[in-house]
Amino acid sequence: MIRLAKQYGWYGYRKVTALLRMEGWRVNHKRIERLWNEEGLQLPRRHNKRKRLYHKDSSIIRLRPTHPNHIWAIDFVHDKLSNGRSYKMLTVLDEYTREALCVAVRPKMNANDVFGDTAPAADQTW
């Protein structure tokens, strides 16, 4: 079992059980699963696929920046000071130049602080 697990790294205990049966072993899949766990064998972690910016039919999900000041991105960053007090930073980036256009730091920040009077209502999305 260990030989097959090393030889076929991406195979789990079910596939290894099938390989053992093809080699002529009469094995129970539940026993192989138990032994698999006792030996600490496991499959490598799968990597998440990166989401594409565009669909296959060429419809746009997210615009790619083509020149400076074309697309800006905003994000909140939270952190704590050495005395334990927390603060928020609002960062505004130009996606084309990757330049930080603005970094606003405050102990507390809400939508009115960011958008002013044009803050979206609770049922409205941007």
Percent of the chain whose pLDDT exceeds 70: 81
The model's pTM: 0.44
**Hey, what are 107's tokens?**
């102990």
Do 29 and 21 meet the contact criterion of CB atoms below 8 Å apart? no
Q: Check residue 26 and give its pLDDT.
A: 92
Query: For residue 108, is it within any domain?
Result: yes
**Hey, what are 110's tokens?**
């809400």
90 vs 49, residue with greater confidence: 90
With 60 as the cut, is the pLDDT of residue 121 above it? no
Domain count for the chain, please give it.
Answer: 2
Domain that holds residue 26: 2-38
> Given the structure tokens 């053992």, which residue do they identify?
20
Query: For residue 57, is it within any domain?
Result: no
Query: For residue 16, is it within any domain?
Result: yes
With 50 as the cut, is the pLDDT of residue 124 above it? no
Query: For residue 93, is it within any domain?
Result: yes
Distance CA(21)–CA(10), nearest Å, equals 18
Query: For residue 63, is it within any domain?
Result: no
